[in-house]
Amino acid sequence: MDTTSRLVFFYGVILQLVLIFESTTAFSIYISRQIQIKPAPLIGGPSWLPLHCQVIVDQCNVFDFVPLDATNPIVLQKLITFQAVPAIARIRTKNSTGNGNELVDRAVSFCQDYNKELHLLNNNCWTFAYDLVSCMTLEEDSQ
């Protein structure tokens, strides 16, 4: 394959990925009526590549786990060489009515107690989401 053919192939693949992810922006995993896992772009990453994971509760409370300085080249270098970096469990609210919600309270408590470093292999945004959803649903089932 010559260079031109490779470039055409590469751009064709990229275009297909863009079209696939643009058409699946509504892709979410609904755990229950109130709990949803939604892929999102990485901080500073391309919008068409949703590798990050967020947990959304009641469509207005967003919980995720991110490096403290996600766009810092040193942090990125550590991550791609499988080193742990300082991270934070973020809690964001959009268009909330302010009504108390037991699931949201559990999620907030979980995030406040979640004091771990981010590591791409064993403690990342996806494992955080799994642990958070498990915490919320196990307590929900036990009541």
> pLDDT band at residue 65, thresholds of 50, 70 and 90?
very high
Q: What is the pTM of this model?
A: 0.77
- The per-residue pLDDT for 16 is 62
Q: What is the 3-state secondary structure (H, E, C) of 20-89?
A: HHHHCCCCCEECCCCEEEEEECCCCCCCCCCCEEEEEECCCEEEEEEECCCCCHHHHHHHHCCCCECEEE
Q: What residues are paired with 76 via a beta bridge?
A: none
Residue (of 11, 14, 37, 10) closest to 136 by Cα position: 37
Radius of gyration of the chain (CA): 18
**Widest pairwise Cα distance in the chain:** 64
84 has a pLDDT exceeding 50: yes
Could you give the CA distance from residue 70 to residue 86 in angstroms, rounded to a whole number?
10
> Which pLDDT tens digit goes with each residue over 101-136?
889 999 999 999 998 899 999 899 999 999 999 999
Q: List all residues 6 or more positions away from 143 whose beta carbon is below 8 Å from its beta carbon.
A: none
